[in-house]
Amino acid sequence: MKTKKLLRKMKSFLSADQRAQIAKIDSLEKILKKLEKKELGLREKLEGEGDKGQHREILRKLEVIAAQRKKGEGLRQELEPLREQTAN
């Protein structure tokens, strides 16, 4: 299932022209950086959180961010060769 979706994403990237594809990879990286920053912020918050409910909520948020980042990293790895190709 995951492979299928990745292929679909790949297809959409490949169908655009190369310059646009590179711009998309850049956007992806920007979003991934923002997610990383958000994750760090949440981890800091988690340490000082005494309320059980809030603690649980932050953990869930972290779990979701982790899944999103994992998905994004996978996508970036798939697309990285394309950027290298363009650079060459």
Partner 1 sequence: MIRRILLPTILLVLAYGFWVSPDFKEIASGVAIFLFGMLAMEQGFQAFTGGALERVLKRTTDRLWKSLVFGSVTTTIMQSSSLVSVITISFLSAELISLAAGIGIIFGANLGTTTGAWLVAGFGLKVKLSAYAMPILVFGVVLIFQRSKVLHGIGYVLAGVGFLFLGIHYMKEGFEAFKQGIDLASYAVAGYPGLFLFVAIGILATVVMQSSHATLVLVITALAASQVTYENALAVAIGSNVGTTITAILGSMGSNIQGKRLAGAHLIFNLVTGFIAIAAITQIIGLVDWLSGIVGIAHDDYTLKLATFHTVFNSMGILVMVPFVQQLVSVLERWMPMPVPVFEQPKYLNEASIDFADAAIEASRKETVRLYDKALELIVHGVGLRRRDVFSEDPLEGFDGSEGGPFEERIQERYEQSIKSIYAAIVAFISRAQAGKEPENAEELLAIRMAGRDLVEAIKGVAHLQKNLKVLIHSENPEIRAAYEGIQRRIGYVVREVDGVRRSDDDRLAILSLNDTILANRQEDVLANEKLDSLVRKDRISATTATSLINDYRYAYRICKRLIELGQILFAVDHGDLLDAQRSLALDEDEIDAMSDHGEI
| Binding status of residue 54 toward partner 1 by CB under 8 A | yes
| Binding status of residue 1 toward partner 1 by CB under 8 A | yes
Contact between 83 and 25 under an 8 Å Cβ cutoff? The reply is yes
Residues 7-26 that bind partner 1 (CB under 8 A): 9, 20, 23-24, 26
| Cβ contacts of 5-12, under 8 Å, gap ≥ 24 | 6/74, 6/75, 6/78, 9/75, 9/78, 10/78, 10/79
Residues that bind partner 1 (CB under 8 A): 1, 5, 9, 20, 23-24, 26-28, 30-32, 34-35, 38, 51, 53-54, 56-57, 60-61, 63-65, 67-68, 71-72, 75
